[in-house]
Structure 1
Amino acid sequence: MSDSKMKLPVQLFSFLNHHPIPTTLLIALTWINFFAGGPGAVLVEIAIDLFGVYPPDSHNPATLSPISITAFSSAVSKTALLFSTTSMVAGVSNLLWVPLAVKYGRRVVYTSSFLVFGLCCIWSARATSYGSLLASRIIAAWFSGSAECVAPMTIADIFFLHERGKMTAMYSAALSTGAAFGLLISGIMSISQNWRMFHYLCAALILATTVLIFFTMPETAYQRDVGRTDEVTDQKISNVAEVEHIEVSNTPKKSFTQRMAFNRAPLTHESIWKIAFRPVIILFLPPVLWSTVSFGIGIGIFVVLGTTAATAFSQVYDFTVWQLGLVWIAGIVGNLLGIPFGGYFSDWVANRATSKNGGVREPEMRLPAVSIAMITYPGSLLLYGLGINYKAHWMVPTLGIFLFSFGSSAAIGITVVYTIDCYRPIAGEVVVSQVVFKSFITFLMSFYANPWVDRDGYAGAFGAMAGFSFVVLALWVPLYIWGKQIRHATLKGRVMRYVHWDLDRETGE
């Protein structure tokens, strides 16, 4: 292996080793979808346990009757709701978590929500009925969702503009890798353990992370000094990183005990209701709407891959549950390899454009990096759908999973950091808008995935997804050309007065 190839993993490890806050944050993000999507590999086993139905089996004639087949299909659909509702609730919960984090701080939200999240996993493991398991997973998802939106706020708190690309890429990779990692682990555990042990594992990992959060994640938000911010803003400094440096350097340092304390005073004078309502209006801003749809189809299609792979690989390739789990190694590797393209590469693209622009940075300067995902998205979906449809070697759809994971990790990182760059002072509300509404997209896609495949086949369903994803991602081109004009024009509307933020949230960018 060449020195250049060895350099990136070493740099990444060194970075995480010297930055405990983002390291803990990435660990916490991983468990969200680890819990939400991980049991998907044992979906059939959960259906058998809770409903007492069995899949059609030529060795068991009783399972081949129309009544038995219908009962099994209904049980699978209900069991799938355990995963699709979890993803949706985790997103919607941020309508509460982000206003609390903006008003009262990140630390108290992280610590309290993950504690309840871990306890609910124990409830899930001990649930004896479908209703109890569904309720436990919904409540757990409500508390787990806090990190999904508060994490980008923390990234914006502690990293300069030119550093956010790689961190946001790690953020998106952690979310996607969590699902793939969960599918892998639950598949392997199925060899000797039942689905309940997976939930006990989730509880142990999440409660351990809660302890890690308590001791390694201080409060990253602080009360803005409006007078000082105005003074810095009035200085005509073209380099945004320099403005940030001035603001940060003027902030008095705190002791370890002070940094680990929970905030008592509000961090902003804005009404919590205004903060909660703002994400609804923000969605109508073109950059946010495009990023939300891109985010939604990225996570949504990944969930569809997870729900369809369980039946596709078992029926077409005779894979057992643990073999299906191993398939998701491709998803993990793809997500990890997508980090440098969504982070380092997009930062390099933006920095290069900034140099050519006389040192003045515009958010749209990182958008050309989306072109990589614009190719891998449709290509990977065609490999997956056509590969299964024509019963090609199992490596073909597995390669599709790898390429989609790679493109998804890169695209989500780029689109999220683009909107954070556009509307930095209200980064929390921006990401809430994205996460909440992408959750509805994800839910609808996962809910209708199996009926869609049954109607149009794998080739038709995934061919349509390939075409749609290409069109959505290709919209980076008009945004790159007219994005600045669109941003300024859309903020001038009468309704958009609810989007504007108070001076105590200004950052100098």
Structure 2
Amino acid sequence: MGTFTLISFGFYVGMNALVPVWLQRTPEEGGYGFSLKQNAAFTFCHWIGILVVQIVGHYYNDRLPLALARRFNHGAWKPEYRLQVLWIPSLILNPIGLGLFGATLQYHLHYMVLALAVFIVTIGSLASVPVTVNYVVECFTRYPAEAGIVIGAYRIVYGLTISFYIDPWVAAVDVGWVYGMMAFFAIFSFLFVMLLMWKGHAIREWQLASVASSEEGVQVEDGISEKGTVEHDGEKMKV
């Protein structure tokens, strides 16, 4: 999950940090010659994407996993059900947005195409944040703060370091393939999510007994309240 978060959200941070650079470069340098005011106005595509993520996530992030638990596991909860939410944003939207972003810069398409790409990547990347954090916290219920901090570090570490090597990367393969490669890396990183969907329970069994705890087995009732048992240090606990 850390590797997926590193790549999925890291590319968004890296793209977000470099968008002003591409916008303010002159057309001769492959940019759009934006002024500071135009550059600031361009950020509305981020804000609109964030708004969409908030609305969709509010109605979708819990309802789908709870519905899966009721339909396929007689209402018994598994943390891996949360990951099913990621198919559309992480496997489809994020790679498409990154590829479109690279193609726009490579062929110097209209800046509105660039805005569309940023909008798509914003949705694809940010939609994964609450899902991954909740999943990790549910896998380490004794240490929710520590788990959240670790997954948060994964989110920002790649984005903060990408500026150190993006220029040599562009010089080596051109800007289009830089973001095209990011799109393929995003698809590759989703394989780890698929592995957790498939064998998440078995992988969680590898934890040390001192940290082993999850919400698996909690009984979901009416999609709202939960009661039953939780795995904790290899024992069942009533909740």
Q: Distance in 2 between matches of 1:484 and 1:318?
A: 52
- Which structure 2 residue ranges, 5 or more long, are not aligned? 214-231
The question of 1:323 aligning with 2:34 is answered: no
Partner residue, 1:246: none
Superposed displacement of residue 423, structure 1: 1.8
The question of 1:389 aligning with 2:106 is answered: yes
Deviations 1:178-226 (A, max 9, x none): xxxxxxxxxxxxxxxxxxxxxxxxxxxxxxxxxxxxxxxxxxxxxxxxx
Superposed displacement of residue 321, structure 1: 1.4
Q: Distance in 2 between matches of 1:441 and 1:377?
A: 16
Q: Distance in 2 between matches of 1:321 and 1:470?
A: 34
The question of 1:442 aligning with 2:152 is answered: no
Q: Distance in 2 between matches of 1:508 and 1:337?
A: 37
Partner residue, 1:303: 13
Q: Distance in 2 between matches of 1:419 and 1:344?
A: 21
- Which structure 1 residue ranges, 5 or more long, are not aligned? 1-289
Decide whether the 8 Å contact of 2:140 with 2:211 is kept in 1. no
TM-score, scaled to structure 2: 0.80
Partner residue, 1:212: none
Partner residue, 1:485: 202
Partner residue, 1:370: 86
Percent identity among equivalent residues? Answer: 25
Pick closer, same or farther for the CA change 1:309–1:439 going to 2, 3 Å: closer
Deviations 1:142-199 (A, max 9, x none): xxxxxxxxxxxxxxxxxxxxxxxxxxxxxxxxxxxxxxxxxxxxxxxxxxxxxxxxxx
Q: 2:74 aligns with which of 319, 333, 358?
A: 358
Decide whether the 8 Å contact of 1:386 with 1:459 is kept in 2. yes
Q: How does 1:151-300 map to 2 (within 5 A)?
A: 290=1, 292-300=2-10
> For residue 338 of structure 1, what is the amino acid of its counterpart?
V
Pick closer, same or farther for the CA change 1:328–1:298 going to 2, 3 Å: farther
Decide whether the 8 Å contact of 1:387 with 1:393 is kept in 2. yes
Would you say how many aligned residue pairs link Structure 1 and Structure 2?
212
Superposed displacement of residue 422, structure 1: 1.9
Superposed displacement of residue 468, structure 1: 0.3
Partner residue, 1:263: none
Q: Which of 1 and 2 has higher RCO (CA within 8 Å, sep 6+)?
A: 2
> For residue 40 of structure 2, what is the amino acid of its counterpart?
G
Decide whether the 8 Å contact of 1:368 with 1:476 is kept in 2. no
Superposed displacement of residue 353, structure 1: 1.1
Q: Distance in 1 between matches of 2:58 and 2:136?
A: 14
Pick closer, same or farther for the CA change 1:337–1:327 going to 2, 3 Å: same
Pick closer, same or farther for the CA change 1:340–1:474 going to 2, 3 Å: farther
Structure with the higher fraction of residues in strand conformation: 2
Decide whether the 8 Å contact of 1:371 with 1:474 is kept in 2. no
Superposed displacement of residue 452, structure 1: 1.9
Superposed displacement of residue 500, structure 1: 4.9
Superposed displacement of residue 445, structure 1: 2.1
Partner residue, 2:123: 406
Structure with the higher fraction of residues in helix conformation: 1
Decide whether the 8 Å contact of 1:367 with 1:418 is kept in 2. yes
> For residue 347 of structure 1, what is the amino acid of its counterpart?
D
Superposed displacement of residue 474, structure 1: 3.6
TM-score, scaled to structure 1: 0.39
Superposed displacement of residue 498, structure 1: 5.2
Q: Distance in 2 between matches of 1:423 and 1:466?
A: 30
Superposed displacement of residue 309, structure 1: 1.7
Partner residue, 1:418: 135
SS, match of residue 180 in structure 2: helix
Decide whether the 8 Å contact of 2:49 with 2:119 is kept in 1. yes
Deviations 1:1-29 (A, max 9, x none): xxxxxxxxxxxxxxxxxxxxxxxxxxxxx
SS, match of residue 475 in structure 1: helix
Q: Distance in 2 between matches of 1:453 and 1:461?
A: 6
Decide whether the 8 Å contact of 2:104 with 2:114 is kept in 1. yes
> For residue 129 of structure 2, what is the amino acid of its counterpart?
I
Q: Distance in 2 between matches of 1:477 and 1:341?
A: 22
Pick closer, same or farther for the CA change 1:327–1:375 going to 2, 3 Å: same
Q: 1:312 aligns with which of 22, 46, 58?
A: 22
Pick closer, same or farther for the CA change 1:366–1:307 going to 2, 3 Å: closer
Q: Distance in 2 between matches of 1:405 and 1:342?
A: 13
Superposed displacement of residue 421, structure 1: 1.8
Decide whether the 8 Å contact of 1:298 with 1:412 is kept in 2. no
The question of 1:337 aligning with 2:52 is answered: yes
Pick closer, same or farther for the CA change 1:305–1:507 going to 2, 3 Å: farther
Superposed displacement of residue 425, structure 1: 2.2
Superposed displacement of residue 328, structure 1: 1.1
Which structure 1 residue ranges, 4+ long, deviate > 6 Å from structure 2? none
